[in-house]
Amino acid sequence: MDRTERFYKIDQLIHDRKQVTFAELLDALEVSRATLKRDLEYMRNRLNAPIVWDRDAGGYRFDTPHAEVGAQYELPGLWFNASEVHALLTMQHLLTDLDPGGMLTPHIQPLIARLNSLLGSAENTAEEIRRRVLIVGLGKREMKLAHFEKVGSALLRRKRLAITYFARSSGETTEREVSPQRLVYYRGNWYLDAWCHLRNDIRNFAIDSIRAAEVIEKKAREVSHRSMDEVLGPGYGIFSGRRLQHAVLRFTPERARWVAQETWHPKQKGSFEADGSWRLEFPYADHRELIMDILKFGADVEVLAPPDLRRRVAEEAARLTRLYAAPRK
């Protein structure tokens, strides 16, 4: 912990506990007595921190009356860690993407202002941070979700929806009645997990593939969270299925240096082999999304099991080979 981090820690401890002993500060900061004394002196003299020693209570506290008359102090800038800056910029991106003329605008503006104040300081403005730090949402479909409000309304009111749904996988458009269960934001896109009364089973629907939606004043069928997770939770990616299989992949030593740090599935198992290859195992229920993720590694990954997945990947790779080997017309 560097000195700036210690300043923030001291400030937080006194603010949260109202009063902190010298021993408690030493224990929390894990520094020497001399270092802590220098930190306290620097905060008082250079940063105008209203920290006082309360002899009767035997601890440090903020001089509240002194602070109230305007003797404010400002801690030096502290950069965020990776997860914090990602969370702040992602929240800001989501909020600013909302319809500026929508009913939530008056409520959202204070949140955006608060995020700006968290992100920026006199030396590093929020605008400068956004210009220097990019959050890239790969795979996000830039489409206006025309029926999102109706889906959300039916979900929370526990009503059914009549939808016209276009399935990209088959190119088929169907009329369905569904009981919404939950909304899922996955890889930059919104999905609805629901009970489909047409298929009489649990299904998930891409919101941007809903062509029409109307709320039906009919009570939605309730499906337990456990049942939802049994169908949609265990497998790989967003696609559903009850029949789980286990994929076993082997990545080359060169690619293993990256893949070994990745999370493909919450229940994955990975291990290095003698030659430096990375062996990865995890459950999946539907091969479609998994095949796309496998193919992006090209010859740096081999499907060891199951045979059906190995065959499908080989067929898709062969199809790509034929496509690029053929003369361009």
Long-range (24+ apart) CB contacts under 8 A made by 148-156 are: 148/190, 148/207, 150/213, 150/214, 150/215, 151/180, 151/183, 151/192, 151/207, 151/210, 151/213, 152/183, 153/215, 154/180, 154/215, 154/216, 154/220, 155/180, 155/181, 155/182, 155/183, 155/192
pLDDT recorded at residue 272 = 96
pLDDT at 69: 38
pLDDT at 87: 73
- What backbone phi and psi angles, to 5 degrees, belong to 174? -130, 155
Note whether 10 and 17 are within 8 A (CB). no
CB 240 within 8 A of CB 231: yes
Q: Is residue 297 within 8 Å of 317, Cβ to Cβ?
A: no
Cβ pair 190, 210 in contact under 8 A:
no
Neighbours of 51 (CB within 10 A): 20
In the 8-state DSSP scheme, what is residue 147? T
| Domain 148-232 in this protein, CATH class | mainly beta
Q: State how far the Cα of 51 lies from the Cα of 59, in Å rounded to an integer.
A: 10
In whole angstroms, give the CA distance from residue 119 to residue 175. Answer: 46
Q: 3-class DSSP state for residue 279?
A: strand
Residue 67 neighbours by CB distance under 10 Å: 14
Q: Give strand ranges (E) for the chain.
A: 51-54, 59-62, 159-167, 172-186, 189-196, 201-206, 210-219, 245-251, 269-272, 278-284, 301-305
Contact call for residues 302 and 250 (beta carbons, < 8 A): yes
Digit-by-digit pLDDT tens for the chain (329 residues) are 778 788 888 988 998 898 999 999 999 999 999 999 999 998 888 778 899 999 888 999 998 654 443 445 666 665 566 667 667 777 766 666 655 556 566 666 676 676 666 666 545 566 666 666 666 655 555 556 678 889 999 999 999 999 999 988 788 999 999 999 998 887 777 889 999 999 999 998 989 899 999 999 999 999 998 888 777 765 555 555 667 899 999 999 999 999 999 988 888 999 999 999 999 999 998 888 899 999 999 999 999 999 999 999 999 999 998 888 878 76
The CA distance from 164 to 176, in Å, is: 6
Identify whether 306 is preceded by a cis peptide bond (ω within 30 of 0). yes
Does the domain formed by 245-325 have CATH 3.30.70? Answer: yes
**Strand (E) positions, 111-244?**
159-167, 172-186, 189-196, 201-206, 210-219
CA distances in angstroms from 83 to 80, 86, 87, 169, listed in the order given: 8, 5, 6, 35
What pLDDT does 68 receive?
43
Architecture category of domain 3-68 in CATH: Orthogonal Bundle (1.10)
Task: Give pLDDT, residue 269.
Answer: 95
Q: Which residues contact 96 (CB under 8 A, 6 or more apart)?
A: 112
Return the domain boundaries, the chain: 3-68, 82-132, 148-232, 245-325
Q: What is the pTM of this model?
A: 0.55
Any idea what the Cα angle at residue 247 is, between residues 244 and 253, rounded to 5°? 165
Distance CA 180, CA 222 (A): 9
